[in-house]
Amino acid sequence: MLKRLLLLSVFLGTLFCASLQAATSFQLNPLDGAISGKPGSTIGWGFNLSNDENFLVVTSVLFEPDTALGTFTDFISAANFFVVGPGNSSSTVWAQTFNADLQTGVGSFFINSDATIGSVASGDMVLTYDLFSRSPLDQNFNPDTDTLSNGNVLSASASVTVSPIPEPETYAMLLVGLGLLGFVTRRKCRQKNT
């Protein structure tokens, strides 16, 4: 009986310790990783990256597999240097929305002008990072002694769909409708004033 209780307490202790272990996670925004745009447009993904133990620095990100549908550009490592981890000089969560002009988010995807409507490129956003025992922002940081591992990988499902361009007739009908609405509104205003 005592042996069973001892085994049970070891098992529960292991479960408890496992639940306290650090979690490193990478999520795209939108969560399903599915984005769409018209031929000739630039679209992209936001992200949420969390790490609550040690210090993580992103080194690169790729949209795999490579596709003839367009071109992916890395923003997260090319335009940013951010340390994700506990401590005063860093944060355990790093999140950004996509903005092509500010180069924020994971990266952008330029859809080729000749892309076929309805085409889909599906794959994974593969993020590579290095892990350190001390923040690279710390004045006492030493890459020789503080490096824990290089080339670690996190991934999230991602896809790009080419959406249709509204036909010129749609724009023409919209403009005619707005013109008629403006004309009717102006006429009613004139009738009230007389």
CA distances from 55 to 27, 94, 139 (A): 18, 12, 14
pLDDT tens, position by position, 73-82: 999 987 667 8
**What's the pLDDT at 10?**
37
Question: With 0-12 CB in 10 A as exposed, 13-18 as middle and 19+ as buried, what is 8?
Answer: exposed
Q: Which residue has the tokens 């630039």?
A: 42
Read off the pLDDT of residues 157-192 as tens digits, 9 standing for 90 and up: 999 999 986 655 555 566 666 666 666 666 666 666
Q: Count CB neighbours of 109 within 10 A.
A: 24
